[in-house]
Structure 1
């Protein structure tokens, strides 16, 4: 039986990562022989990390994934494939593997010293604040770049061009906004800046609302990876339902803004 453990290092003495989505390595370990393979994950982008890592875990036959914390959006695809997810884990990888083996052999009697529910301690709060600060600093250069890029766009893409794409018809504008947002997927912070420029150039709120929501959630470019990981039926259904929902969101947003 194989398990996947989010680790800070490449061997069994490494500590288990606090967060699955930001770990540098995934160790695929055979619990019988203790042989393991290392999946480097630190060089993956935040967008490609979930799909690529989950694909490799499924391909290598792991039946359980272990980490300190895992986002619900990652837990769902794993459990849907019949993979057990264990979170709230601390200690070294070797300790976790040993506890996991005892749990399986001794009627699931987990070792409380290794597998437990993480409390919100002062150290964890400090870790969360440091992580938030690093994330904010990583966004600032991207945001500055987008603002400069928008300045160039305003110089080359005039108001007439935008209005030729967005006619002012609520349904057409919602569809076009959702279409362009799905193709031009990007950072959520950047979408607010772009949305503001579109509104100032006379683009309707229907189009902007649809653009903003699909910009960060749909992503045509991710469709091949989603099909490989989650299956074609699920991926295409999610895409179609998302497009429909975001058109409804665009209408709802415009209606609410009119009330205020």
Structure 2
């Protein structure tokens, strides 16, 4: 979700209502009511319906979602809209402090730095979540579900773009996608060598893709049945996977 804030225009103040719809403007944060079209390409999730749910009525989507869908060839009719004429990159300074702290704490072999780095991640994710927290912030300064929705949508839109770009460039497409986890099949045991995208986008930095887990296809095939991926908890953590590889080589 970290890359969902960088450069993102977020709503300020009250929205402007267009009950009969309007022409989509990617520069305006907003909610757009659309009819959900069928997936245009089965090789990656429908950006307007990533869970593949049965949708029988119009659905509200945010600007980042509709912008990415448009870039992938989707042009749904807009039936109604709420947009913010007043907007800005209001969380970028905060994001940059979190990013810089994470970079400074990336010290290999330093346990204290690792713990602080993990705490940095907790602060980031909990802060984003708090924007939409009825329990902790409803009615108080900082409560902004619309900003939370745009940040989450932007993060997911970035993932969708990356999946499509990797597929177009390499011919390699994922066998499963769930939220921020993308599962690829490879003959390479090393996750870095198995990564089909640009190596500059793989690593520990902000917005980079990191190995979340690995598994033998023979063991994991049961979760790839086309009925919704349920095998994330069965992936082997990178350090355990690397240790098992060392054991098999000895």
Report which of the two structures shows the higher radius of gyration computed on alpha carbons: 1
Larger RCO of the pair (alpha carbons < 8 Å, separation 6+): 2
TM-score by length of 1: 0.23
Structure number having the greater helix percentage: 1
